[in-house]
Amino acid sequence: MDTKLNNDIPLIETKNLKKYFKVSSGWLHAVDNINLKVYSGSTIGVVGESGCGKSTLGRTILRLIEPTSGDILYNGENIVNYRKKQMREMRRRMQIIFQDPYSSINPRMSVAEIIAEPMLVNKSLPSKEAIYNRAARLMDTVGLARRLSNAYPHELDGGRRQRIGVARALSLQPEFIVCDEPVSALDVSIQAQILNLLMDLQEEMNLTYMFVTHDLSVVKHISDEIMVMYLGQCIEKANTEELFTNPLHPYTRALLSSIPVPTIEMRHKEIKVIRGEVASPIDPLPGCRFAARCDYFTEECSIEDPELRDMGEEHYVACIKVSELEEVI
Ligand SMILES: Nc1ncnc2c1ncn2[C@@H]1O[C@H](COP(=O)(O)OP(=O)(O)O)[C@@H](O)[C@H]1O
Ligand SMILES: [Mg+2]
C-alpha cells in the first residue's frame, strides 16, 4: 500500500460494514451496515449504550475481528482481503487503547517492558537498547516519570496506568487509534487529563482517532464528529457542535438530556428519560430498533429500517418522524 497519506480522501472509510455473531438462537447483529469516513488528523466519537456495538465496530475496522460483509478502506485502499503479511504493516499503523489494558498483559511486566513490547515484537528499532531508549522517551511524551520504568502497573493509579496504554499504542508510530472507553474507569478529574493528553498528542503527531464511549459528555471536546449508535446501527451523525445544539433523533435527545451539565443548551427542552428495555440484537425485525422506547412511535415506524437521511450540513438522522419532531420540540 501507498504509505503516503492523501488528505483529500478519508484515512478510514467503511462501506456497509457488518459484523454478525452466530449465537444459539440466531444471528446477533452487533454492527449493522455502518458507513463512516474519518479524515486524517480528526476524531470521530462513537456513542451509545453498552452493547450497541461500539467495541465490535472498532475492532472490526482494525480487523481484530473479521467483518461479516462490507468494506474497510484505509487511505483509499480496501483492506478487507489483505493477507497476514499485508495486515502486519497495517497493524502497526492502526492501534487500540482499551479501558483496561491490563487484562491482556502479563502482570509481571514492568512499565518499560509493557511500552517496549510492541517494538520488540516488531523489531522496529535495530537494538534492544534503542527500543528501551524510545520507551523512556515515550514515557516523557505521555507524562510518566522515568523513575516509574521499573514499577508494575498494579502499583500505579488509573490515570498513570492509562498513560502506559497510550505510550504503548504510540510505540509503533501509528496513524489511526481506536480509543475504546479509555477514560470510562477514571475519576472525572483524571479523565480530563487523559483527554487533554490525547488531544495534545493528536495535534503533535497528526493522529486520527475513533473515540468510543457510552458517555456523550466525554466526547464533546475531543470529537470533530459524533456518530450515535443504537443496536448496531448508526441512528444519527453530525459534527459535534451541531449534534449538541440540534440533536434530531429522539434517542440522541434522551442521551443528551441525561447529561448533568448545565452548559448544554437543552434547558428549553424537555428532559427525556429513556424508558423500557433495549430490544434484542438477535435477528432484529425490520423497522426502527428504538421504536419500543420512543415517545413518537406510530405503526409506520415498524415497516422498514429508517434510512439515514441527509438533513443538510452533513447532519444525518435515521428517523422517519424527524420533520414532525422538529415542530414538537
Ligand atoms: N464474540 C461475540 N460473540 C457473540 N456476541 C458478541 C461477541 N462480541 C460482542 N457480542 C455482542 O455484540 C453486541 C455488541 O457488543 P459490543 O461491541 O461489545 O458493544 P459495546 O462496546 O457498545 O458495549 C452485544 O450484544 C454483545 O453481546
Ligand atoms: Mg465496548
The model's pLDDT over 115-150, given as tens digits with 9 standing for 90+, comes to 999 999 999 999 999 999 999 999 999 999 999 999
Ligand lying closest to the C-alpha of residue 48: 1
Question: At residue 258, does pLDDT exceed 80?
Answer: no
d(CA 231, CA 76) in angstroms, rounded, equals: 28
The reported pLDDT for the residue numbered 7 is: 74
Residue with cell 438477535: 282
Question: At residue 199, does pLDDT exceed 50?
Answer: yes
The reported pLDDT for the residue numbered 227 is: 98
Q: Which three cell numbers stand for residue 273?
A: 428519560
The reported pLDDT for the residue numbered 3 is: 60
Q: Compute the distance from residue 137 Cα to the ligand 2 centre, in Å.
A: 31
Residue with cell 531508549: 133
Check if 220 has its Cβ closer than 6 Å to any atom of ligand 1.
no
Say what the pTM is.
0.93
Q: Compute the distance from residue 28 Cα to the ligand 1 centre, in Å.
A: 8
Task: State the average pLDDT over residues 196-209.
Answer: 97
The reported pLDDT for the residue numbered 268 is: 47
CB atoms within 10 A of CB 288: 29
Instruction: Quote the mean pLDDT of the chain.
Output: 91
CB atoms within 10 A of CB 186: 19
Which is it for strands 316-317 and 309-310: parallel, antiparallel or unpaired? antiparallel
Q: Which three cell numbers stand for residue 96?
A: 487500540
The reported pLDDT for the residue numbered 171 is: 97
Instruction: List the single range of 123-127, 260-264, 314-318 with lowest mean pLDDT.
Output: 260-264
Is residue 213 within 8 Å of 186, Cβ to Cβ?
no
Q: Compute the distance from residue 203 Cα to the ligand 1 centre, in Å.
A: 32
The model's pLDDT over 265-300, given as tens digits with 9 standing for 90+, comes to 554 455 566 777 888 999 999 999 999 999 999 999
Check if 51 has its Cβ closer than 6 Å to any atom of ligand 1.
yes
Ligand lying closest to the C-alpha of residue 284: 1
d(CA 169, CA 217) in angstroms, rounded, equals: 24
Residue with cell 428549553: 268
Question: At residue 160, does pLDDT exceed 50?
Answer: yes
Q: Which three cell numbers stand for residue 69?
A: 460483509
Q: Which three cell numbers stand for residue 42?
A: 480528526
Of 102 and 23, more confident: 23
Q: Compute the distance from residue 30 Cα to the ligand 1 centre, in Å.
A: 6
**5 CB-near residues (< 8 Å, 6+ apart):** 11, 40, 75, 175
Q: Which three cell numbers stand for residue 270?
A: 424537555
